[in-house]
Amino acid sequence: MSLETDFIVIGSGVAGLRASIELAASGGRVAVLTKDKASESNTEYAQGGVAVVLSDDDNPELHEGDTLVAGAGLCDEQAVETLVTEGTKYIKQLIEWGGEFDREGGKLVFTQEAAHSRRRIIHAHGDSTGAEFVRSLIARAGQEKTINLTPFANTESLIVRDGRCVGVRFLDPVLRQPREIYAKAVVMATGGAGQLYQHTTNPPVATGDGMAMAYFAGAEMADMEFIQFHPTALNLEKAPRFLLSEAMRGEGGILKNKYGERFMPRYDERAELAPRDIVARSIVAEMRRTGTRTVFLDMTALDEVFLKHRFPKIYETCKFYSLDIAKDMLPVSPASHYCMGGIRTDLWGRSTLPGLYAAGEVTCTGVHGANRLASNSLLEGLVFGARAGAAAAAAADSSELIVLSSESKTEELKTRNSKLGTELATAVKKRVKRIMWERVGILRDKDSLKRAIKEFDQIAAGNLSTSSRNFVTLARLVATSALWREESRGGHYRNDFPEQEDKFKVHSIQRLDTEISAAKSINFSRQVGV
């Protein structure tokens, strides 16, 4: 039996929860589906903080300027302006809802991170800002009686009729069988795809299923080649790539090579506070120069009491692995961290597929351009989650709830390979992750990218489950767009094309069964011809 509701939200990170709250305010019924527990998302693992204009010596123009510089010429200026101006309002609202951020003497504590010109980063419980976002938003969503949150409901595909998204197919967590649920609008907020890579700071749920589902349903994808690699992930054998926050360098942490030498000033005058893409490539270059697989983050010049208070979670995690951040050099190396590309949306979260809205890391709004400015991601999820929810609610007034008949549903499922099975095969996952790390990683070139695409095609030719097909398809989208972009910009670096090229100051657009194309603007609602 099919289920019906007014709105479906896929994902329970900051973007999904904020969209749900906005949708509930319209009086509609909201079904929130998430493939793990409600709190398990990339939001939960965000440590550094959230960038927001709240201090006396800051203003939106400065925040916008820093974001545009980091984005390496590909930010949508209107999207960035929306982020920095509305961000202040939504953070204040979150605080009114009970969000607790660190204070001294009753005043918010502001810190600085790489590529920011002001101390505008607020944080919660030292290094657990994302967890506080989730806690406060789940508490606020719990006050809305029309929000129905269903954990462990793995969404498999979108249901499209007459060119419109009308629902989703998911695995019922109780019955363990596929079911369909229909609504007037669907909001995709499934987060990023860091798990595409062998080494990542992302949790296991970050496999990019939402991007792949939207792509197979016919939505356009943008800027998939731009992957941000966090420079400092804990690099210990048999330990997860735990994120050592950008804020650690912002507070004075120094990067050193195996000889104990500080090396970043040789690569960039901003040293440890250079944008993430530059720091990550500099670390790779230094590891190659010294013949090692790690460098070290040195925090020993800072006071131990301060470090315990400022980075409690990082302190305890490192202690678990017999490292004292106040006394020991911390072994680090880059790991995949954030996707700048994703589902192409306008400023209100509308995708190119009617009925499908999206917000957060699963999207490409143009906010981040070619390289995300540190601590802008939580703000993006909050601002554009609210905007996507508002737009979906407004459009629902004139939308009709469409439920497919049994015959229609059978025909619908024939339109794409939808083999039953939502588990991502271990063999496929390992092979794709290795190929992505070795051939579509921090440093890229034509031959490696072509070999990666060939291998992905071989994998895709097999008899795959839906999740496995999603995974390899997404990897191929990243590799294909990386091959197309014959320049180096932001999170995309080509050894064979090391310079920026004006002709590539455009966005890559990919759509099912079509060649890759270019667009001058992400915001398709006001795009001019290219």
Structure tokens at 12: 């329970």
Structure tokens at 76: 């949508």
Q: Which of 18, 120, 241, 276 is catalytic?
A: 276
183 near 167, Cβ under 8 Å? yes
Surface-to-core class of residue 395, CB atoms within 10 Å of its CB (0-12 exposed, 13-18 middle, 19+ buried): middle
Structure tokens at 295: 């460098």
CB contact set of 372 (below 8 Å; sequence gap of 6+):
70, 71, 228, 276, 338, 340, 491
Task: Clarify whether 431 is annotated catalytic.
Answer: no
What 3-state class would DSSP assign to 233? strand
Measure CA of the first residue to CA of the last residue in the chain; give whole Å: 47
Type of residue found at 238: K
Structure tokens at 190: 């499934």
Tokens 């050193």 -> residue: 256
Residues 395, 309: Cα–Cα separation, whole Å: 47
Residues 288, 491: Cα–Cα separation, whole Å: 19
What 3-state class would DSSP assign to 182? strand
Phi, psi angle pair for 108, to nearest 5°: -60, 140
Q: Which residues of 440-475 are buried (b: 16+ CB within 10 A; e: fewer)?
A: bbbebeeebbeebbebbeebbeeebbbbbbbbbbbb
403 to 162, 181, 199, 376, 509: CA distances (angstroms) = 12, 8, 42, 38, 31
Q: Which residues pair with 160 in a beta bridge?
A: 165
72 near 374, Cβ under 8 Å? no
484 near 221, Cβ under 8 Å? no
Structure tokens at 131: 């967890």
136 near 149, Cβ under 8 Å? no
228 to 142, 194, 334, 337, 500: CA distances (angstroms) = 34, 9, 10, 6, 17
Helix (H) or strand (E) run with residue 479 in it = helix 466-484
Residues 231, 77: Cα–Cα separation, whole Å: 27
Residue 293, number of CB atoms within 10 A of its CB? 11
- Enzyme catalytic residues: 276
